[in-house]
């Protein structure tokens, strides 16, 4: 049997993002999903600003934004039968975009639309999700993983045994990959706090401007959120300790009956039920993200309550963190030890994510919480712009002064541009190597290469940095010289670097490197995270010696 492409099990956002990341890195993949059809439903609809930045790098942002909608205002009604709102408030108050953070506001897009966009981008690489294909079992070997697959063609099941260099389980909370790998799944199950959720048509009686809510989450609550996708489709939630979840989840009749009991709003006329699920909140996570050649990502690695919109977004970031590292190791350019940083970087983030979402869930189901915006706010840290890897062993920061490790969610990491932080945007840059066209850093970052930003310095220092960069594996780095003035920029500079950018308003300088009169080097990883902030060639070499086999 030959060694086949990397196998990804599960075609939700985590699996699809990983597939796209690997394909953009020139790595062949197969992605399978046991479902016989692509899933329907608005589950996991909130997309946070940091995920939008990931999609900017992957090239899917425009399609997502064209389909998505702003988060609607949250509207709470009074006693059953009442049509007057007791309170209306934004769950995530609008934030004016800034230069370093152009995407400051969450958007809403049902997961089925979200996944369809990602699948369309995979198809540009000739890659298609293999549905009705299930991983039955696998065995690990020193050089590969042997996977046993079952294909259901509707008439019979066909088995396949194939070898893969790596296997990634993005196969959800009941992950066969996680279970067979024997990973611990620590945490708790919230018994008696189920949520019946799904999508349903609303024929009349309800506008599509607000997220409508009746009752109290501590006893009985019903919620209808417009999907913004036409046809009067609303996502519904029914929950509370006094709800008979199993009975409500039997179908449309009991959903509508329970809704009328809670709201008293029989003027709202429902159409067909599209899908329904009886969801039981779990707060669990693995103790490690991989074993040998097998990895887990997304819900296969961590389960959570839906409060806070952190789960799906964290799943996307799991995959984007892993993708470039796995590509380099797979191509023989990086040591296998680089993959250990997937665990060390993501474990603290997920632990903090679970703490935040669990606290929000508890606040949401407290008596009287429905009328208050405090338990329903979804801003601040939840935007995930402050998620950072400052404590990672593979980042290098010669400018850092702190001795205490920062929190995984750290508001300062939104804009401070330290090693381990998100790389901020810097616009209004002039590309003097390309007809003086205006550009920005977000247009330059890519999922398949490191971007080396060089600020100030002398011609001799520039030549030394360029020489060091050229010794790195081909097509894995792009070196960019950023200068505040065109004076002194020569043809030699244009030959040395991928681009020379003029920063006349000191936007990039003020964001990434001050003072502007001394040499500074900032390395942005393929996942849009700052990997290094150093002062010279030796610092650059120190960082890349932790990434590549030869640096």
Domain end call among 280, 314, 348: 280
Q: What is the pLDDT of residues 322-346, one digit of tens each?
A: 999 999 999 999 999 999 999 999 9
Q: What value does the mean pLDDT take over residues 415-436?
A: 93
pLDDT of 2 reads 46
Confidence of residue 260 (pLDDT cuts 50, 70, 90): very high
* Domain annotation covers residue 386: no
pTM check: above 0.75: yes
pLDDT of 373 reads 57
CA 280, 286, 291, 296 dihedral sign is positive
Rounded CA-CA distance 423/525 in Å is 9
482, 430 contact by CB (below 8 A): no
Confidence of residue 194 (pLDDT cuts 50, 70, 90): confident
Q: What value does the mean pLDDT take over residues 363-371?
A: 61
Q: State whether 315 and 464 are in the same domain.
A: no
pLDDT of 310 reads 82
Q: Does the N-terminal peptide bond of residue 515 adopt cis geometry, omega within 30 degrees of 0?
A: yes
Rounded CA-CA distance 4/7 in Å is 8
102, 425 contact by CB (below 8 A): yes
Q: What is the pLDDT of residues 289-309, one digit of tens each?
A: 999 999 999 999 998 877 667
Q: State whether 336 and 265 are in the same domain.
A: no
Cα 270 off chain centre by? 34
The residue among 399 and 188 whose pLDDT is bigger is: 399
pLDDT of 218 reads 80
Confidence of residue 516 (pLDDT cuts 50, 70, 90): low
pLDDT of 402 reads 66
Q: State whether 18 and 161 are in the same domain.
A: yes
239, 193 contact by CB (below 8 A): yes
Do strands 107-108 and 29-33 pair parallel, antiparallel, or not at all (unpaired)? unpaired
Do strands 396-397 and 220-226 pair parallel, antiparallel, or not at all (unpaired)? unpaired
Number of Cα atoms under 13 Å in the Cβ half of residue 494 = 12
Number of Cα atoms under 13 Å in the Cβ half of residue 85 = 13
Structural domains of the chain, count: 3
* Domain annotation covers residue 482: yes
**Nearby residues of 516 by Cβ (< 8 Å), 6 or more positions away:** 455, 456, 484, 506, 509
The residue among 3 and 497 whose pLDDT is bigger is: 497
Q: State whether 26 and 62 are in the same domain.
A: yes
What does the chain come to in residues? 551
Confidence of residue 35 (pLDDT cuts 50, 70, 90): very high
The residue among 241 and 158 whose pLDDT is bigger is: 158
Considering the chain, what percentage of its residues have pLDDT values greater than 90? 72
Average pLDDT of the chain? 91
Q: State whether 295 and 411 are in the same domain.
A: no
CATH at residue 37: 3.50.50.60
Do strands 210-216 and 73-77 pair parallel, antiparallel, or not at all (unpaired)? parallel
pLDDT of 493 reads 74
Number of Cα atoms under 13 Å in the Cβ half of residue 318 = 33
Rounded CA-CA distance 30/130 in Å is 8
pLDDT of 435 reads 85
Q: Which of 485, 494, 551 is nearest to 523 (CA)?
A: 551
Rounded CA-CA distance 384/106 in Å is 10
Q: State whether 400 and 532 are in the same domain.
A: yes
* Domain annotation covers residue 349: yes
Strands across the sheet containing 220-226 = 85-89, 73-77, 210-216, 220-226, 233-239, 195-204, 269-279
Domain end call among 364, 384, 417: 364
Structural domain range at position 484 = 396-545
505: number of Cβ within 10 Å: 14
Least confidently predicted of 85-89, 177-181, 190-194, 383-387: 190-194
Report how far apart the first and last C-alpha atoms of the chain are (Å, whole number).
35
CATH at residue 499: 3.40.30.10
Considering the chain, what percentage of its residues have pLDDT values greater than 70? 93
Q: What value does the mean pLDDT take over residues 254-268?
A: 96
Above 80 in pLDDT, residue 364? no
Domain end call among 313, 340, 364: 364
Number of Cα atoms under 13 Å in the Cβ half of residue 152 = 13
Above 80 in pLDDT, residue 450? yes
Q: State whether 346 and 474 are in the same domain.
A: no
Q: State whether 175 and 291 are in the same domain.
A: yes
pLDDT of 1 reads 36
53, 103 contact by CB (below 8 A): yes
pLDDT of 241 reads 86
Above 70 in pLDDT, residue 111? yes
Q: What value does the mean pLDDT take over residues 495-506?
A: 91
Q: State whether 520 and 427 are in the same domain.
A: yes
Q: What is the pLDDT of residues 21-30, one digit of tens each?
A: 999 999 999 9
Q: What value does the mean pLDDT take over residues 502-514?
A: 92
383, 104 contact by CB (below 8 A): yes
Token pair of 161, please?
A: 């045994």
Q: Helices (DSSP H) in 69-221: which residue ranges?
A: 111-123, 176-181
Rounded CA-CA distance 536/528 in Å is 22
Q: State whether 421 and 273 are in the same domain.
A: no
Rounded CA-CA distance 219/373 in Å is 18
Confidence of residue 121 (pLDDT cuts 50, 70, 90): very high
Q: State whether 294 and 359 are in the same domain.
A: yes
* Domain annotation covers residue 351: yes
Q: Does the N-terminal peptide bond of residue 222 adopt cis geometry, omega within 30 degrees of 0?
A: no
pLDDT of 73 reads 92
Q: State whether 360 and 458 are in the same domain.
A: no
CATH at residue 89: 3.30.9.10
394, 335 contact by CB (below 8 A): no
pLDDT of 306 reads 72
pLDDT of 120 reads 98
18, 297 contact by CB (below 8 A): yes
pLDDT of 491 reads 73
């Amino acid at each position: 049997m030959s060694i086949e492409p990397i196998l990804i099990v599960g075609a939700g956002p985590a699996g699809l993002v990983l597939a796209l990341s690997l394909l953009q890195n020139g790595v062949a993949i197969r992605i399978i999903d046991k479902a016989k059809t692509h899933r329907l439903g608005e589950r996991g609809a909130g997309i946070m600003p940091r995920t939008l930045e990931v999609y900017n790098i992957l090239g899917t942002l425009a399609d997502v934004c064209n389909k998505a909608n702003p988060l609607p205002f949250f509207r709470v009604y009074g006693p059953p039968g009442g049509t007057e709102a007791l309170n209306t408030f934004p769950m995530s108050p609008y934030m004016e975009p800034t230069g370093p953070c152009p995407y400051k506001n969450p958007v809403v897009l049902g997961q089925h639309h979200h996944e369809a966009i990602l699948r369309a981008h995979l198809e540009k690489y000739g890659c298609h999700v293999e549905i009705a294909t299930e991983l039955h079992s696998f065995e690990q070997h020193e050089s590969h993983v042997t996977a046993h697959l079952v294909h259901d063609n509707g008439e019979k099941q066909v088995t396949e045994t194939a070898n893969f260099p790596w296997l990634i389980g993005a196969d959800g909370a009941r992950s066969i990959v996680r279970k067979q790998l024997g990973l611990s799944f620590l945490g708790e199950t919230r018994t008696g706090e189920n949520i019946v959720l799904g999508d349903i048509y609303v024929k009349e009686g309800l506008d599509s401007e607000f997220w409508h809510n009746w009752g109290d989450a501590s006893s009985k609550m019903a919620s209808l959120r417009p999907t913004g996708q036409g046809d009067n489709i609303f996502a519904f939630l029914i929950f509370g300790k006094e709800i008979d979840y199993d009975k409500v989840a039997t179908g449309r009749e009991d959903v509508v009956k329970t809704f009328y009991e809670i709201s008293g709003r029989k003027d709202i006329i429902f159409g067909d039920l599209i899908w329904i699920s009886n969801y039981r909140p779990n707060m669990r996570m693995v103790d490690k993200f991989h074993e040998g050649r097998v990895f887990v990502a997304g819900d296969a690695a961590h389960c959570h309550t839906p409060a806070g919109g952190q789960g799906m977004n964290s799943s996307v970031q799991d995959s984007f963190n892993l993708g470039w590292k796995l590509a380099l190791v797979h191509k023989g350019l990086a040591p296998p030890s680089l993959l250990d940083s997937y665990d060390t970087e993501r474990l603290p983030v997920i632990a903090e994510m679970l703490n935040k979402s669990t606290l929000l869930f508890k606040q949401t189901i407290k008596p009287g919480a429905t009328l208050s915006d405090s338990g329903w706010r979804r801003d601040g840290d939840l935007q995930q712009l402050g998620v950072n890897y400052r404590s990672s062993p593979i980042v290098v920061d010669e400018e850092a002064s702190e001795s205490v490790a920062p929190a995984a969610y750290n508001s300062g990491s939104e804009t401070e541009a330290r090693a381990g932080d998100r790389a901020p945007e810097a616009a209004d840059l002039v590309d003097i190597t390309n007809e003086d066209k205006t550009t920005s850093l977000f247009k330059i970052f890519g999922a398949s290469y490191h971007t080396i930003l060089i600020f100030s310095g002398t011609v001799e220092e520039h030549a030394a940095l360029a020489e060091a960069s050229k010794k790195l594996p081909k097509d894995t780095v792009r070196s960019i010289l950023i200068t505040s003035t065109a004076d002194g920029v020569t043809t030699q500079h244009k030959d040395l670097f991928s681009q020379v950018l003029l920063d006349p308003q000191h936007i990039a300088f003020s964001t990434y490197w001050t003072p502007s009169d001394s040499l500074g080097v900032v390395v942005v990883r393929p996942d849009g995270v700052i990997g290094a902030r150093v002062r010279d060639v030796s610092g650059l070499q120190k960082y890349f010696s932790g990434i590549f086999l030869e640096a």
